[in-house]
Homo-oligomer: A and B are copies of this chain.
Amino acid sequence: MRRGVLPLNALRAFESTARLGRMRDAADELGVTYGAVSRQIRGLEKTLGIVLFDGPKNKLEPTEAALRLVPALTYGFDRIEQAVNKAMQEEDRIIDVSCLGTLSMRWLIPRLYDFHTRFPKIDIRLTTDDGPVNFAKQHFDVAIRVGNPDFAEYEFELLFDDAVGPVLSPQITPDGGISQPDDLREIPLLHTKTRKDAWASWCEIVDTKLPVDGREYEHFYFMLEAVMAGLGAAMAPWVLVRDDIEAGRLIAPFGFKETGLSYFAAYRPRSGPQIEAFVSWLQEQARKTKR
C-alpha cells in the first residue's frame, strides 16, 4: 500500500484500541465516541483485507495478524508524537495580548493554563485594556475586544456573540420565584459606572419598567462579587458569568439576549503561525464556551 493512501486515522484508532484493550478507552484517548472507533476499525479491516479482532463483542481479542501489526504502529506513532512535541517546544516566542479587563479575569486567565500546556515555549504577556485597537501605535500582537470589528484595520476572528441578561444569587430569589421581569422589583438592581444604561436597554427589549435605584459600582468585577453575596441583581454579559451559572452560584432567570455586538480577537495580518496558533486556540476555547 502506497504511503499516500495509508489510512492513518484508522490505523491510529486501531493502534489505540489494541494497546488499551477496549474500544471504549481508545475512544476516550482519541476524544470521540466508541461508535466512531468501531467504524474506523471496521473500515480498516476492509481496506487491509485483514481480520483484526476476534471474539465476543464484550471481550475483543486481537487476531495474530493484529498482534504482529501493532508494535510497529505504536512505535511509529510514538516517534511521530515525540518529534512533533519536541518541535513545538523548541519554538519560543512571546505574544503580547491586550484584553478587556473583566474578560481576562473571568474567561481568559482561567483558560490560559491550557494554552501553556500545549505550547510550553510560547509566553503570553497579558495587558488589560478596554480602549480601541490600534496596532500602529500599540505594540500588541493580539487584542480581544467587544463591539463591531473594523474590517479595514486588522485581521480578526469572531469569538462569541455578546448577550446580556439579569443574574442574581439563588439565595435571594423571592418566595414566588422569578417568572417575569416585574418580579425583579423586589430586588435591588446594581449598576456599573461604565455601562450605566445596561438595565434600561434591557427593560426596553423586554418591554418593562423597573426602578433604577440600586448602588453603582466602580468595576464590573466588584458588582459581580456583590451579586454573588446576594446584594442584588446585575445585568451581565453571558461570557462573564457562564462559569458561575454552571457552578450554581448565580442564576439567570430570563436567559440572555443578544446585543448584536461580538467579542473578537484582532491581530496583524501575516503575523506568523504562533499568533495564529494562539488565535485559533482562542476560537477553540470560545467554541467550548458556547455550548
Chain B residues near A46: list those with CB within 8 A. 273, 276-277, 280
Nearest CB of B to A46, in Å = 5
Chain B residues near A85: list those with CB within 8 A. 1
Contacts A49-B122, A49-B277 hold; do A87 and B75 have CB atoms under 8 A apart? Answer: no
| Residues of chain A whose beta carbon lies under 8 Å from any beta carbon of chain B | 1-6, 8-9, 11-12, 16, 29-31, 45-51, 65, 68-69, 72-73, 75-88, 90-91, 118-119, 122, 272-274, 276-278, 280
Contacts A6-B81, A73-B83, A83-B76 hold; do A65 and B45 have CB atoms under 8 A apart? Answer: no
Closest residue on chain B to residue A284 by CB atoms: B47
Return the contact of A80 from the options B51, B73, B87, B273 (Cβ within 8 A). Answer: B73
Chain B residues near A65: list those with CB within 8 A. 87, 90-91
Q: Whole-angstrom distance between the alpha carbons of A65 and B86 in the complex? A: 10
Chain B residues near A50: list those with CB within 8 A. 87-88, 91, 273-274
Q: Whole-angstrom distance between the alpha carbons of A88 and B77 in the complex? A: 19
Nearest CB of B to A12, in Å = 6
Whether B273 and A77, one on each chain, are in contact in the complex, defined by CB atoms closer than 8 angstroms, is no
What are 24 A-B pairs with beta-carbon distances under 8 A?
A1-B84, A3-B12, A3-B16, A3-B77, A6-B12, A8-B8, A11-B84, A45-B276, A46-B273, A46-B276, A46-B280, A48-B87, A49-B88, A49-B273, A49-B274, A49-B277, A50-B88, A68-B86, A69-B83, A73-B83, A75-B76, A75-B79, A76-B78, A77-B80
